Structure 1
Amino acid sequence: VDIDWEFPRNTTQRDNHALLVSELRAEVDKLDPPLLITMAIGARLGSDMTFDHAILKEKLDWFNVMTYDLYGAW
């Protein structure tokens, strides 16, 4: 399961995002076999500053870094 929430803009959204991830982890772990949970995050400094990193580090299996906009003609 890949989560792509771009991006929590305030503390309420940050807390709701952490709650979603925590509840999803609890349900996915009941499956046999359990699924992986991943999350897409921005590669730019500051794009993920509103995420609850302590919860995400504990509940997610890995992060997919969105690097498609790091280089271009702009």
Structure 2
Amino acid sequence: VDIDWEFPANPKERDDLTTLVTEIRAEADRRGKPFLMTMAVSAGTWSGDHNDYGKLRDSIDWFNDMTYDLYGAW
């Protein structure tokens, strides 16, 4: 499962996202089947810096940095 929430805009949305991810992981673990959970995240802080990585890293196996907007002639 890839979580792609673009982007938590405030602390409440941050908490909602963290709860969602934690609950998905808990249910997957409860079922006892192999399960990989990834999450697309901003490579910068211009979209807000509202992810709680300290908590998310306990549930997410792999973070995918969205860097495609970082290419340019500048």
Shared fold (TM-score greater than 0.5)?
yes
Percent identity for Structure 1 against Structure 2: 54
- TM-score scaled by length of structure 1: 0.85
Rounded Cα–Cα distance in structure 2 between residues aligned with 1:31 and 1:16? 23
Counterparts of 1:1-74 in structure 2, within 5 Å, are 1-47=1-47, 49-72=49-72
* Structure with higher helix content: 2
Rounded Cα–Cα distance in structure 2 between residues aligned with 1:24 and 1:3? 10
Q: 4+ residue runs of structure 1 moved beyond 3 angstroms?
A: 45-48
Rounded Cα–Cα distance in structure 1 between residues aligned with 2:48 and 2:31? 29
Asked if 2 retains the 8 angstrom alpha-carbon contact of 1:41 and 1:48, the reply is no
Report the aligned-residue RMSD: 1.8
Rounded Cα–Cα distance in structure 1 between residues aligned with 2:58 and 2:47? 20
1:3-60 Cα deviation digits (max 9, x unpaired)? 0001100111011000001000001113342211100011124546101111111111
Give the number of equivalent residue pairs.
74
Unaligned 5+ runs, structure 1: none
Asked if 1 retains the 8 angstrom alpha-carbon contact of 2:9 and 2:48, the reply is no
